[in-house]
Every structure is written in C-alpha cells, then in structure tokens.
Structure 1
Amino acid sequence: MPALIRWWTQDVTALSPRADPLEVAATGGDLLERWTEPQRRYHSTRHLVEMFWALEDLTDAGELSDTDATLGRVAAWLHDAVYEPSADVGANESASAELAETLLPRVRVDRGSVATVVELVRMTVDHAVRHDSALHRAFHDADLWILAAPEQRFDEYCGQVREEYAAVPDELFRVARSRILRDLVGAEGIYLTEYGRTHWDGQARDNLDRELARLS
C-alpha cells in the first residue's frame, strides 16, 4: 500500500471509526489518481506532502490541535483534488468542494467535519480566512508554505507553475502572476499563525522579491 494511502486511511479512520475499510481504500485510490494526473507540475503529490509537513510543524508549535490537524490533512487531500490549469477562476476549488461533499459521506465522515473540509477547500479560492479559527489560519499558512521554501525549492516551484500555465503568453503570465504574488502578501502579511510569521515570513518575502524581480 502506498504511504499516502496509509496516511489517508489513518486520518479517515480517526475521523470515522465506523468507515468501511474497502470504501476508505477506494476513495483514497481515487484521490491519489487525481493527484498524479499528467497536467500537474506543482499541484502534485509533492505539494500535498509539503502541506502535511507544514501542518505537522504548526501542530508541534501548538498552533493546531491533533484533531484539527487530522481535519486539515483530509482537507489538504481535497483542496486541489480537481485541478485543470485552463479552468475559470474558482472553478477548480468549487469542483473540489463538491467532490468533498460527495466523497466524505461515503466513508461516514460526520456532517460537521464535511462542512469544515468544504469551507477550507472553498477558502483557497481567495484565501479569505476566518481569523477566529485556528484551523483556518493554519490551513492557509500550510497551503502557502511553499513561498517560504528554501531558495532552490521555491525557484523549482516557480518553474512548475509556469509549466502548468504554458498555454498562457509570457507577457500575460508575468502580469497576472505578479498581481497574484503581491496580493498574497496582503495588508496583514503572508502568514496568519504566530509560527508562520516568526519562522516563514522572512524567507517568503525574500523569495517573492526575487520572483517579482524576475517577472518584471
């Protein structure tokens, strides 16, 4: 069994002890197949695992409870489960949220947890975060951890994003990508958890300055 499927099984079983093991394995296999589609360069299983690592760091730092960390990992599986670079803005996230609403009840995840996962998935359209929720803040930061990656990994990520949008002309890509990166910084900074602000923000700003200079 692939490690990712084992992790999916552990998390779903923690949320839903009565889930049918065969259904858990089937849903995990479906998600893994989606995450390994050929059009993905950045939005691949590597991004998924990097989110898991970031959520683990945030849990170890006390930003996230173990229960919320489990919900966060399940939401990470769903948040880019549908991914087509040519889709309209928000379409991938909406389709991924709808998939969560269909898939999670099959493994007997309770309604409240399903609603939380769906809310987290939809949040990734514009990163409009519920600041009163530690889980929302941590999920936001984990999804954007890549901005604070070591220089070599960050530069690789930038190249992977360009490959995903290879059909977009260079000038249009540069303008749109620059706007997106500047918007991610926002008035409150990049990260919303104390751990993210302390440990990730400086590296992220250095990375973004370098990429914005390249794009200009």
Structure 2
Amino acid sequence: MLKNIFTSLITKYTNDQEVLELLWVDISKTHSQKNRHYHNLSHLENLFQNLIMVQDKIKDWDIVLFALFYHDYVYNARKQNNEEKSAQKAVEVLNSLSIDKNRVALCSDIILATKGHHISENQDVNYFTDADLSILGSDWKYYEAYFKNVRKEYKYYPDFIYNNGRIKVLNHFIDMPAIFKTNYFNQNLEVKAKRNLQQEIDLLSK
C-alpha cells in the first residue's frame, strides 16, 4: 500500500522511474532497520489511515504525504535531533524534485512540529501532529503494544532511567490543555488518550 501511495505522489513531480525507485527503496530500508520497533513502516501506514479520515480538510495533501514519508526518516533513540535531521532530508528530496520553496518549507515545518506537538497556526500541521499521536487514543491493546515497542527502542537504558524519562513525557501530554488540536481528533481520541497515558504512568510507577 505505502509503495503505491509513494509512487502516485512522486510521479506528479518526476517521470524518472529510477529516481522514484531509489527514493522508495531508501524509505523502505530506513524504516525497516532492526532497531525500529514502533517508528517503522507500520507506523507510517497507521498515520496514513488516520490522515485519510481528514483528507478533505487538508489544504496541501501532497506535502502532508511527503511529511508522512520523511518525518521519522532519521530515528535514533539516543539523539535529540531526529526531527531536525529528518526535516533536512525532506527538504533535500523536495528540492531535488523542484517543488516550490514555500511548500518545501511547509513540509519542514510539519516534521519539526512532531518534536513538541504544540499547536500551529497552520491546520495542515495540526492535522498531521494529531494523526501522529493518534496511537495515544487507541484501544488499550494497541496502546500497550505501542509503549512496549517504544521501550524496545530504548533498550539501551535501564528501567530506572527509562521509566523516569517516560513518565516525564507522558505527563507532558497529560498537562497539555488539549493533546489533539483539531476537532476531529480531539472529539474522538482525547478522553481515551489521557486515560491510556495515566494507566501507563501507573504501571511505570509501581
């Protein structure tokens, strides 16, 4: 599914099949690295399924799709600059496709917004960050699988370090006036998300 979506997207901007194939293989290989237990192709698929629900509300669908494919391009659990590096990669690719600089800047803004998930003046950004966090408001069995996979990505850290850091992150979201910035995601996921987050905190605090 993802390859078909990517192919349809890229062919709007180049007819070079070799370029298309190289870009897709790069994305597929990068997101299939053995250290990726959550930030992988399955995450991209889930993100797409959530974004498609609000496609009619998104102004620049193509740029949102580019952000989808590149927002976790760089992922290292021991680094703090993953979003910045991923945004740089997206800018490089979009510039190579001769995409308008303002649209390239939007793609970068969307990716950088996934670092703190704060509200933006641009609703395309808000829809993307909301979809990126949609796992938080999923049914408990999916949420549980999510946080267990995140723990695997941070396997380098002992429990006492990981648990304290994770609790801090979870409280950051709970303390937000609203985790989800758009009506669609807020109405459907907000209550369940805060319940899931608190339940994970309780487990980590034992």
Tell me the TM-score normalized by structure 1.
0.89
Deviation by residue 1:90-121 (Cα, 9 ceiling, x = unmatched):
x1111111111212222333222211111111
Q: 1:167 aligns with which of 148, 156, 177?
A: 156
Residue in 1 that maps onto 2:204: 215
**Contact conserved, 2:47 with 2:132, CA < 8 A, in 1?**
yes
Identity of aligned residues (%): 26
Aligned residues: 205
Q: 1:29 aligns with which of 18, 25, 28?
A: 25
Inter-partner Cα distance in structure 2 for 1:160 and 1:12: 31
Residue in 2 that maps onto 1:73: 65
Q: Higher relative contact order at CA 8 Å, sep ≥6: structure 1 or structure 2?
A: 1
Residue in 2 that maps onto 1:11: 9
Inter-partner Cα distance in structure 2 for 1:69 and 1:154: 27
Q: 2:143 aligns with which of 151, 154, 159?
A: 154
Query: Post-superposition shift, 1:50?
Result: 0.7
Residue in 1 that maps onto 2:51: 55
Runs (4+) of structure 1 moved beyond 6 Å? none
The CA RMSD measured in Å over matched residues stands at 1.5
| Other structure's SS at 1:200 match | helix
Change (3 A) 1:50 1:23: same
Which aligned pairs between 1:131-150 and structure 2 lie closer than 5 A?
132-150=121-139
Change (3 A) 1:6 1:40: same
* AA in 2 matched with 1:63: K
Tell me the TM-score normalized by structure 2.
0.93
Gaps of 5+ in 2: none
Inter-partner Cα distance in structure 2 for 1:11 and 1:129: 27
Inter-partner Cα distance in structure 2 for 1:34 and 1:109: 23
Which 10-residue stretch deviates more, 178-187 or 144-153? Answer: 178-187
Alignment pair present for 1:85 and 2:77? yes
Q: 2:103 aligns with which of 101, 109, 113?
A: 113
| Other structure's SS at 1:104 match | helix
Query: Post-superposition shift, 1:19?
Result: 4.7
Gaps of 5+ in 1: none
**Contact conserved, 1:78 with 1:97, CA < 8 A, in 2?**
yes
**Contact conserved, 2:119 with 2:181, CA < 8 A, in 1?**
no
Query: Post-superposition shift, 1:185?
Result: 3.0
